[in-house]
Amino acid sequence: MVKVLGIDEAGRGPIIGSLFIAGTMFKEEDIEKLRKLGVKDSKLLIHKKREELRKKIEKIAVKYKIIQVKPQEIDEAVESEDHMNLNWLEAHKTAEIINALEPDKAIVDCPSPNLVKYKGYLKQLLNNKEIELVVEHKADVNFLPCSASSIIAKCAREDEMDKIKKEYGNTGPGYTSNPVTQEFLKNNWDKHPEIFRKSWISWKNHRNGKEQKKLGEFEK
């Protein structure tokens, strides 16, 4: 039995909430079942369809693992003075999934523009260096196991955002391109530090604007 693992993420870009990385492992002979179900990149599916497919994917999968990366950990990586950045943080979490699930083959949707460098960095983190490792852009579109993980990760991200909205109010989807999120950020950026990515320029702009305002009041 050849075990094939697909890995993808959801929530890399938003200013509110966590990044979720999912790894879903299948018997090689079961992968075609995903196509028959209509599995594809989560961005090409509506919310209701993603939820339907999530349950079916979990039944077909041999194993799956989801890692939640909270805003504070993202900020620490982005603002690290060492070698760490968001791509390398994602590589460490991806390696954690691969090491835990122990596939024969792992297919990874690459977050970095430099495929060769990212693959080399990721491989160094693996316990088993003999695993067949495929690292590609658009793997979530081109490989069904990655599409399945895209759905699992996206559903986990949406579950978290539903909880955040219940606790903090209407945040919108958490992306700064969204007007509802923009308004929530404007009114709440300094009230709920645990849900914001404070290394994002949009959050810093609000903080810097307040500091400039205070400085102006002091100079008067």
Give per-residue pLDDT as tens, 170-181. Answer: 999 999 999 999
What does the alpha-carbon distance between residue 57 and residue 31 come to, in Å, rounded to a whole number? 10
Q: How far apart are CA 95 and CA 106, in angstroms?
A: 10
Q: Which of 10-19, 69-78, 81-90 has the lowest mean pLDDT?
A: 81-90
Query: What domains does the chain contain, in order, with CATH numbers?
Result: 3-166 (3.30.420.10), 170-219 (no CATH)
Q: How many residues comprise the chain?
A: 220
Closest C-alpha to 53, from 65, 40, 64: 40
Closest CA to 119 of 150, 144, 90, 140: 90
pLDDT band at 82 (very low <50, low <70, confident <90, very high): confident
- The answer to whether 67 touches 97, Cβ cutoff 8 Å, is yes
* N-to-C CA span, the chain: 75
- Which tokens in the block code for residue 142? 């081109």
Average pLDDT, the chain: 94
Mean pLDDT across the stretch 89-112? 98
Instruction: State how far Cα 39 lies from the chain centre.
Output: 18
pLDDT, position 106:
98
What would the pLDDT profile of 127-178 be if each residue is shown by its tens digit? 999 999 999 999 999 999 999 999 999 999 999 999 999 999 999 999 999 9
Return d(Cα 74, Cα 96) in angstroms, integer. Answer: 16
Q: Residue 67: which of 137, 156, 144, 3 has the closest Cα?
A: 156
